[in-house]
Amino acid sequence: AVTSNNSPAVVRAYLQGRGLLPCFAPHLYGRTAELRHLKPHPHCLQRALNAMGAAPAAALMIGDTPTDLRAAERAGVPFLGYAGTPRKGRILAEAGARMIVHSLDTLLTALRPA
């Protein structure tokens, strides 16, 4: 699943352009009309977990912002920080992220359909 503060249409277009839409659709959970449910509120994570029948501890939130980290914490979901730059890594570490990676290449290769 993908959870985002962006609109589902933007998320869909982003994933489609990178060949990743089949990996996640139909589980795209973006911004709703209820702006109070934007991350760090755990609403989008809870929607994804409920739709997939997954327990929070059995999921993994990969995020690149402190608000992603807070949403994961509030939902009880383990968090993996993604820092594409050293600055993002420092920001995530200062926010309390304990695990941070600097590349998603291996994960993306595994997810893309053959």
Tell me: the pLDDT tens digits for 21-68?
A: 998 888 998 888 888 888 999 999 999 999 999 999 999 999 999 999
Distance separating alpha carbons of residues 39 and 92, to the nearest angstrom:
15
- Take residue 97 and report the two structure tokens written for it: 């992220």
Residue type, 7: S
CA separation for the pair 44, 25 (Å, rounded): 15
What does the radius of gyration of the chain's CA atoms come to, in whole angstroms? Answer: 14
What is the pTM (predicted TM-score) of this model?
0.86
> What domains sit in the chain, N to C, each tagged with a CATH number?
2-111 (3.40.50.1000)
| Residue 79 β-bridge partners | 61
